[in-house]
Amino acid sequence: MGVELFSDIASKYNYLGVVILMMIGLYAMIAKNNLVKKIIGMNIFQTAIILFYVSTAAKRGATIPIIRHGHNGHGHEVIHAAEYINPLPHVLMLTAIVVSVATLGVALALAVKVYHQYGTLEEDEIRGQLRNK
Amino acid sequence: MNILVGFLLVIGLFFFTGGAVGILRMPDFYTRLHPAGKLDTMGQLMAMGAMALYVVGLDLSLASVLTGLKILLISVLVFITSPTATHAIVDAGVRAGMEPWTKSETEDFRDLGA
Amino acid sequence: MENLSPHFPALIIIVPLIAALLTSAAGWLNRRLCFHFAALGLFTSLLVSTGLLASVLDKDVILYRLGGWPAPWGILYRIDRLNGLVLVVIFFIAFLNLIANKRTVEESFPEQLGGFYALYVLFVTGLSGMVATGDAFNLYVLLEISSLTGYALIGIGHERAPLAGLNYLFMGTIGASLYLLGIGFLYLMTGSLNMTDIASLLPGFYGSPVMVLAFLLCMTGLFIKMALFPLHAWLPNAYSFSPSASIGVIAPLTTKVMIYVMIRMTFDVFTPDFSFKMMHLGEVMVWLAVAAIIMGSLFALAQTRLKRMLTYVIIAEVGYMVGGFWLGNRMAVTGAVLHILNDAVMTLCIFLAAGAVVYQICGDDFEDLKGLFRKMPISMAAFTVAALSLIGVPPTCGFFSKWYLISGGIAAGHYGFVVALLFSSLVNAVLFFRIIEIGYFEPFSEGEGGHGVHHGPPAMEIREAPAGMLACLLLAAVSLIVLGIYTGDIVTRIIDLAIPPAI
Amino acid sequence: MRIIGLLIVIAFGSLLRYGVFFFPEWGDPASPPSLHVSPHYIEEAIAETAVPNLVTAVLADYRGYDTMFETTVIFAAGLACFMLLRVLQRQVPECRLYRHIPTGITLRIEKGGKLPTESGSFERIDSNWVPHDLIIKSTSRFITPFLQIFALYVIAHGHHSPGGGFQGGVILGAAVIMYAISYDLRRSIQRIGEQATAVLGSAGVLIYAGTGALCMVLGAAFLDYGALAGLLGVDPVMARSHGMLIVEIGVGIAVSAVMVWIYYNLSSAGRHDEGL
């Protein structure tokens, strides 16, 4: 069992990193009091997912997915799928990165608005102000 | 060659780690910028140098030397921009009215804590 | 028209997208055009989606290859009877609400008309794209479009709206990220993103715990987005502080589209075999739904403001559909699908009526509603129709879907669900008769400033809502009854054929 | 809240950890993602689209529809920031601050006072101490042209090397943002106005969607660039490559404009008066 666990960790440590990052992000989103810290937690969470996808693309012994010597339209040599890593997750994650940037922008805009309204970004203080009203 | 590359990478990582630890451990805004600005610049110089050496070491041709030079160009860019960015951040901090940290303050704090 | 008809599945998304872009540009160049672009875009899509529904009734399934690439490599649009129907409902509601709220929007955002209408149309684009798409990742992108615009549409409200919007954003992002992670697990195991392709590969992985996790992650993500009971906390604040114009489209559509997506995921991606027979989730889900129905109804009872009360009614309604769906027999699933349709129109009607009332009296406290029947008879009549439908009184459509749900519950032998449904109908009756009683029997509160906080117009000036709003409201109320009358046709011609025979 | 959060997080984490046991090994060339869909992209993309950068080929062609909505997401974020933050009611401030540039003296002019014209000798400033920062200004003056050229290179060369519309657009937007940081926001808005950023943002997405719609008008599916072959005067495979370039340019325009727009609104909380 111990050996199995060790070989599991050795061959999949990237996924473990993803899980740890996700836990950090989620914890920050749930437990932190400051709204900007929550936003940072959200970003960590999204980044962890991006890392997960990108690591599914990896292939041992393969290189970046740009075909060499392919400038004139049709490659001279036969292209083997094993030589290049999988481009699809990279494409997907380009989309996800853009989405997370957009979400970050909107979140910051809302946080600015909240700050102007209540004069603070601490959640408990805002809640206190709301209760006093 | 590979040993040199590895050595440079390790040194670079050491600087990066130092930077990260410094950001966490330093007492206030301005002192935190110190490791953030300096150690990262140094760390990336080491890492970029390692990469340039690696590319040149793969096969010594004009193309790979050019690639190595391009990589070093990144270092030059960072050397120009990183201090400026740190300067701008410090500037913003001063304008926002942040007081620099002085040692006596924490001693008082420690007294209170004890 | 003839040569465009094969492109209908793409057009329903492209037309509103282009309309939104033009609207936004028009906001800077010629502000009067904004509304026309938005209305034209949504109306064209309504026509196209109706045409699509008509053709899908003959052809069963329409596939459209975007970019001309075949299925697992490119993105495929897949229109069947079920989402054809949902698409028509989406555009119908969005168009009606747009027309109805023309004046409120012009008064609240005089300088930012282009921005508001563009966000509105983009929101609808995202929702319709989610419904039409046949690609699991494309669904995520469109989900994010509709969520981002939704956060903005909610955040521009007054009082606590920005805070509520930010909380909605946190929850919504967790939900969307969990969905994305679930899709990532599916991709890792099958290597595909196309829904049909995943479904065909799935039997090889039936035993794998990764699949179970993927299923749980996707579903949890969607449950957050649809505000199922323990995960509902973001909804009431977000909905009750946002402007009427945005809530009129967000409240009817967001949760229902999410429920449709849940149905789509379980049927088309995870296959009914896997989701119902292997997961053993049905029982848990139905009990969660029961909790949602009961808690939603109880919270609704405790409210003293109209819009806030309605938000809790929405939470209870989500329970109806989720519970009905996870009962997993044909009758109950039919009821759940039918209820998506009916509840969308009911919610539209009741929020339009509430919007009209709020617009006229500038407040939605129960105190403010006194004597409203005399001042705004037509709006309140429409309100009553919607209320009857929510309670489930026969000529209106709410009755029929509830009847299917209850008979489904009895057929499954799940009496907890049946009791919850009956209880919730009873609570709805209490809720709405209380409002109708306040509006009809209590005299209008004449004392100006008798309710000092609201600086509404003086009592005598309150009159019927503007004509455009009223027309849309009446249309929504009439369509509730029409839907009720044609329930049989909808069920036999569309829904029955749309549910896979495995159930 | 902390303890509940910790419990949820630990439960979530251990669930995922359990799932990881059943994952294929990292980097395994025989794992399903490497075998099912992607070999087609790797082996056929260059024959089908004439683009050696597979990421660009998949991004802009095979899954070009996703990318169109990706651009739309950015545009929606710009719109959202604008709607949420922009304050359009102009209030005349209590007092205005001017700097006499040759001497560096700050003038404070109360309401009703005569305002100097903005010229070589007077400039309007927002807070009473806006530094005349030589370091930042000269650095940004030095860097900006390189940034802009590099951005154009990244957009145009996305077919053959890492890059593309998003990356290039962001760099281009960053050049403008750097200008706004090193001088001030108002001067940047004078050069590239809010209206320009908003209209360019929608125009960029419109270029993308319009290219797709053009393909549809020409009889092929939406975004099937092969249909543009007749218009561009090349064979259908090359037309795909050119079509991708067109949409990448649209993406670049949209992303750079919207980034600047978001920066304008966020940095000044929608008042568009104060830069950093």
> D73: pLDDT confidence band, cut at 50, 70 and 90?
very high
SS3 C443: coil
The chains found to touch B (3+ Cβ pairs under 8 angstroms) are D
Q: Check: CB of residue C80 under 8 Å from CB of residue C56.
A: yes
Q: Over range D79-103, report the average pLDDT.
A: 74
What is residue A45's predicted lDDT score, i.e. its pLDDT? 93
Q: Is C502 exposed, middle or buried (0-12, 13-18, 19+ CB in 10 A)?
A: exposed
Kindly determine whether residue C141 and residue A53, on different chains, have CB atoms separated by under 8 Å: no
Residues of D in contact with A11 (CB under 8 A): 25-26
Test A96 with C180 for CB contact under 8 angstroms: yes
Q: Is the pLDDT of residue C328 over 50?
A: yes
Angle, helices C244-264 vs C113-132, to 10°: value is: 10
Cα angle: D34, vertex D31, C276; to 5 degrees: 110
Are the Cβ atoms of A86 and D81 closer than 8 angstroms? no
Q: What are the DSSP calls for C267-307, one per residue?
A: IIISHHIIIIIIS--HHHHHHHHHHHHHHHHHHHHH--BHH
Average pLDDT, chain C: 85
Q: Which residues pair with D98 in a beta bridge?
A: D107, D124
Residue-wise pLDDT tens digits, C270-280: 888 777 777 77
Distance from CA of D38 to the nearest CA of C (A): 8
User: What residue type is assigned to position C283 of the chain?
Assistant: E
Query: Encoding tokens for residue D138?
Result: 């000269």
Supply the pLDDT for residue C57: 84
D32 and C189 in contact by Cβ < 8 A? yes
Q: Round to whole Å and give the CA distance between C175 and C190.
A: 23
Reported as a pLDDT band with limits 50, 70 and 90, residue C231 is: confident
Looking at residue A65, the DSSP 8-state letter turns out to be S
The complex scores an ipTM of 0.89
Does D22 touch chain B if contact means CB atoms closer than 8 Å?
no
**Which D positions 107-146 lie with beta carbon below 8 A of chain B?**
127, 129, 131, 133, 135-136, 139-140, 142-143, 146
Half-sphere exposure of D127 (CA within 13 A, CB side): 13
Selected from 2.30.40.10, 3.40.1210.10, 3.40.50.300, 1.10.287.3510, the CATH number assigned to the domain covering A2-61+84-132 reads: 1.10.287.3510
Give the pLDDT band of residue D276 (cuts 50, 70, 90): very low
Q: Tell me: pLDDT of A72 over 50.
A: no
Sheet holding D105-110, edge to edge: D105-110, D95-100, D122-125
Higher pLDDT, C158 or A90: A90
Query: Phi then psi for D270, rounded to 5 degrees?
Result: 85, 0
Q: Where are the domains of chain C?
A: 280-503
pLDDT at C390: 87
Band of pLDDT at residue D194, cut at 50, 70 and 90: confident
Contacts of D220 in chain C (CB under 8 A): 68
Q: How far apart, in whole angstroms, are the C-alpha atoms of residue B80 and residue B85?
A: 9
Closest CA to C74 of A8, D37, D156: D37
**What is the dihedral sign for C-alpha D230, D233, D236, D239?**
negative
Rounded distance between C-alpha atoms, residue A17 and residue C470, angstroms: 57
Average pLDDT over residues D22-42: 83
Beta-carbon separation of A94 and D17 below 8 A: no
Question: Is pLDDT of C152 > 80?
Answer: yes
Residue D112 clears pLDDT 90, i.e. is over it: no
Beta strands in C10-112 (DSSP E): 62-66, 75-79
All residues of chain C having their beta carbon less than 8 Å from the beta carbon of residue A96 are 140, 180
Task: Please list every residue in chain C whose beta carbon sits closer than 8 Å to the beta carbon of residue D270.
Answer: none
C-alpha C469/C-alpha D224 separation (Å) is 42
Q: What average pLDDT does the segment A11-24 reach?
A: 88
- What's the confidence (pLDDT) of residue A64? 83
Per-residue pLDDT band at A71 (split at 50, 70, 90): very low
Count of beta carbons in the 10 Å neighbourhood of residue C5: 12
Q: What are phi and psi of C71, to 5 degrees?
A: -50, -65
Q: Do A110 and C177 touch (CB under 8 A)?
A: no
Tokens of C173: 């992002």
User: How far is it, in rounded angstroms, from Cα C483 to Cα D23?
Assistant: 48
Mutate to test the interface with A, among D20, D40, D63 (most CBs of A within 10 A): D20
Confidence at residue B26, expressed as pLDDT on a 0 to 100 scale: 82
Which residues partner with D99 through β-bridges? D106, D123
pLDDT of D250 > 60? The answer is yes
The pLDDT value recorded for residue C447 is 47
pLDDT digits (tens, 9 = 90+) for C7-50: 888 888 899 999 999 998 888 888 888 888 889 999 999 999 99
Ranking C254-258, C479-483, D130-134, D239-243 by mean pLDDT, the lowest is: D130-134
The stretch D231-248 carries a mean pLDDT of 87
Q: Among all residues of chain D, which has the CA nearest to that of B76?
A: D143
Binning pLDDT at 50, 70 and 90, where does residue D92 land?
A: low
Average pLDDT over residues C427-441: 85
Q: Which residues, 6+ apart, have CB-to-CB distance to C486 below 8 Å? A: none
pLDDT of residue C1: 47
Residue C140 reports pLDDT greater than 90 = yes
pLDDT greater at residue D146 or residue C280: D146
Give the residue, D226 or C139, on which the prediction is more confident.
Answer: C139
CB count in 10 Å sphere of residue A23: 22
pLDDT of D126: 63
Cβ distance D76 to C148 under 8 Å?
yes
pLDDT at D16 over 50: yes
**How much is the pLDDT for A1?**
57
Using CB atoms, pick whichever of C166, C174, C180 lies closest to residue A35.
Answer: C166
Between D272 and B32, the more confident residue is B32
Strands D122-125 and C75-79: unpaired
First to last CA, chain C: 38
Crossing angle (nearest 10°) for helices C415-440 and C282-302: 20
**Partner residue opposite B81 with nearest CB, options D127, D131, D143:** D143
What local confidence, expressed as pLDDT, does residue D261 receive? Answer: 92
Interface contacts (A, C; CB < 8 Å): 68
| pLDDT of C449 higher than 60 | no
Task: Please state which of the ranges C97-106, C291-300, D28-37 shows the lowest mean pLDDT.
Answer: D28-37
Q: Give the CB-side neighbour count of residue D245, counting CA atoms within 13 A.
A: 14
Instruction: Give the residues across from D123 on adjacent strands.
Output: D99
D275 pLDDT more than 50: no
- CA D147 from chain centre, in angstroms, equals 14
- pLDDT mean by block of 10 residues, chain B; 114 residues: 88 91 85 86 90 85 87 89 86 77 59 43
Domain ranges of chain B: 2-113
**What are phi and psi for residue C348, nearest 5 degrees?**
-55, -50
Q: What is the pLDDT of residue D255?
A: 93
The distance of Cα A101 from the centroid of its chain, to the nearest Å, equals: 11
